[in-house]
Amino acid sequence: MIKYLVRRLLYAIPVLLGVNLITFILFFSVNSPDDMARAYLGQKYITQATIEQWKKSHGYDLPMFYNSEVSGIAKLKETLFFKKSLSLFAFDFGQSDSGRNIGDDIRHRMFPSLAIAIPSLLLGLFLNMMVALLLVFFRNTYIETTGVILCIVLMSISGLFYIIFGQFFVAKLWRLVPISGYLSGIDGLKFLILPVLVAIFSGLGMGARWYRSLFLEEIFKDYVRTARAKGMTEHMILLKHVLRNALIPILTGVVVLIPSLFLGSLLLESFFGVPGLGSYTIDAINQQDFAIVRAMIFLGSLLYILGLVLTDFSYTLVDPRVRLE
C-alpha cells in the first residue's frame, strides 16, 4: 500500500507540471509581461523605459522558457517559467505584483478560512445526514414528497441570495449577529455564526438529496431485509445498518474536500469581510494580481490531488474489502 501511495504522489508531479504549464501559458503568452506592465502602470503616458523598469523590479525581464544568453543549466534556470512557475514546487511563492510576500500572506490567512470552513463542513454533514435519514424514514409518504421538493427549492436559490438575505434579515433587521467582520479567539465567535449558517443552508438541499439517494440504494439490499425479518424496528435498521454502510461513500466524498478547506470560500469570505484565503483570491482577481492567482491555483491543485490520494486511503480504512495495489 505504501508503494501505491508513493506512486500516486509521484503521479501528482506531472499533473502539477501540467497545471503550471496551463497557467503559465494563460498568463504569459496571452498577455506578455509588456501587456501586464502596461495594464499595471496605466495605459497612458508610459514609455518603454518605464515598462522595462517595472519588469526588472518584478522579475519579468527574463525569456519565457529558454535563456540563450547564459551557459550551462542556467539556460533553463534563468527563465520566467523556472523562476515564476517551477519555484512554486518548493513552496516559494515569491512576491505579489504589489510587493507583498505571498507565502507569509497565505500562512496568516489560512486560519480564518479554516475557522469558517471546518464548522460548516462538520455541522453541514450532520444536518444533511439527519434530514436525509428522516426523508428515508418517511419514504412513500407526503412528508417525503414535500421534503424532496423543499430540497429542490433550496437547491434552486443562488448562494449569493443566501448570503445577501441572511445578512439583511438576521444581521440588519433582527440584529442577532454582526453583519460582517472577523476577530480571532473566542470573542470572534459571533462573527462566525452567520457565515457558518449560510454555508450549511446553501448546501443543505443538494447534500440531503444526495445522501437520501445513497441511503435508498442501501435500503433495498438483502441485509436490510434480514434485519427487518429479525423484527428490528425501522429506526434501528436505519441507524445501525443503513447509516453505517452508507457512511462509506459519504465519508470518502467528504475526505476529498478536507485539504481544500484551507482555501476557504470565495463568496462567504468576501461578503462577510473575513481575512481568509478566499477573500485574498477575490481581491487578487479584482486587482489582477497574477502572481497571487498563480500561487492560489498551484495550491488549490495540490490540495485537490492530496484530497484524491486521501480518498483512496480512506477507502481502505472504512471498507476492509478494498485493497490498494
Partner 1 sequence: MRLVFLISDYFLFFLFFVFLFFLIRALNNPVSRSSWKRVFYHPWGLFSILILFVYFSVALLDSVHFVTKIPSSQNNHVFYSNDAKSLLDQLIFPIGTITEKTYSAPFATTLYTKQTAEDKNGNLIRTYLPLLINKNKTHLLKTSHIIWVFVNTGIVSLLFGAILFSLITFLFSLKRKLSFLQAFKILFNPHGGFPWKTCVTTVSAILFFFSIFYLFSGDYHIFGTDKVGQDVLYEALKSIRTGILIGTLTTLVTLPFAIILGISAGYFGGWMDDGIQYIYTVLSSIPGVLLIAASVLSIQIYINNHPSYFLTMNARADLRLVILCFILGITSWTSLCRILRAETLKLRELDYVHAATLLGSSSWRIIKNHLLPNLGHLILITIVLDFSGLVLAEAVLTYVGVGVDPTTYSWGNMIDTARLELARDPVVWWPLTSAFCLMFIFILAANLFADRVRDAFNPRSTT
Interatomic CA distance for residues 143 and 139, integer angstroms: 8
Given the complex with partner 1, which of 66 and 161 has the nearer CB atom?
Answer: 161
Among 27, 81, 211, 215, binds partner 1 (CB under 8 A): 27
Phi, psi angle pair for 58, to nearest 5°: -100, 5
- Please tell me whether residue 36 binds partner 1 under the rule CB under 8 A: yes
Nearest to 197 by CA among 233, 244, 163: 163
User: Residues 8, 38, 77, 228: which binds partner 1 (CB under 8 A)?
Assistant: 38
Q: Considering only residues 101, 158, 184, 226, which one is a binding residue for partner 1 as defined by CB under 8 A? A: 158
CB of 27 to partner 1, least distance (A): 7
| Contact range with partner 1 by CB under 8 A, out of 116-124, 164-172, 189-197, 222-230 | 164-172
Which residue stretch of 27-35, 126-134, 225-233, 245-253 sits at the interface with partner 1 (rule: CB under 8 A)?
27-35
Nearer residue to partner 1 within complex by CB, 143 or 153: 153
Residue 323: exposed, middle, or buried by beta-carbon count in 10 A (0-12, 13-18, 19+)?
Answer: exposed
Q: Smallest distance, Å, CB 309 to partner 1?
A: 12
Interface residue with partner 1 among 6, 74, 118, 152 (CB under 8 A) is: 152
- Over the window 282 to 311, marking each residue x when it contacts partner 1 by CB under 8 A and - when it does not, the resulting string is x--xx-x-x--x--xx--xx--xx------
Q: Is 41 in the site for partner 1 (CB under 8 A)?
A: no
Residue 113: closest CA among 300, 288, 306, 313 = 300
For the record, the C-alpha cell of 258 comes out as 478536507
**Does residue 35 interact with partner 1 by CB under 8 A?**
yes
Cα R_g (the chain), whole angstroms? 25
131-134 contact pairs (CB < 8 A, 24+): 131/204, 131/208, 131/211, 132/207, 132/208, 132/209, 132/210, 132/211, 132/212, 132/214, 132/215, 133/215, 133/238, 133/239, 133/243
Q: Taking Cα atoms as reference points, which of 201, 238, 234, 202 lies closest to residue 218? A: 238
CB-nearer residue toward partner 1: 224 or 232: 224
Please pick, from the candidates 263, 274, 291, 309, the single residue that binds partner 1 as defined by CB under 8 A: 263
Q: How far is CA 278 from the centre of its chain?
A: 9
Q: Which residues contact 254 (CB under 8 A, 6 or more apart)?
A: 121, 125
89 binds partner 1 (CB under 8 A): no
Residue 263: count other Cβ atoms within 10 Å of its Cβ.
Answer: 23
Contact 255, 261 (CB under 8 A): no
Q: Nearest approach, Cβ of 301 to partner 1 (angstroms)?
A: 4
Is position 314 an interface residue for partner 1 (rule: CB under 8 A)? no
Q: How many residues bind partner 1 (CB under 8 A)?
A: 45
Residues that bind partner 1 (CB under 8 A): 14-15, 18-19, 22-23, 26-27, 30-31, 35-36, 38-39, 149, 152-153, 155-161, 164, 167-168, 172, 260, 263, 266-267, 281-282, 285-286, 288, 290, 293, 296-297, 300-301, 304-305
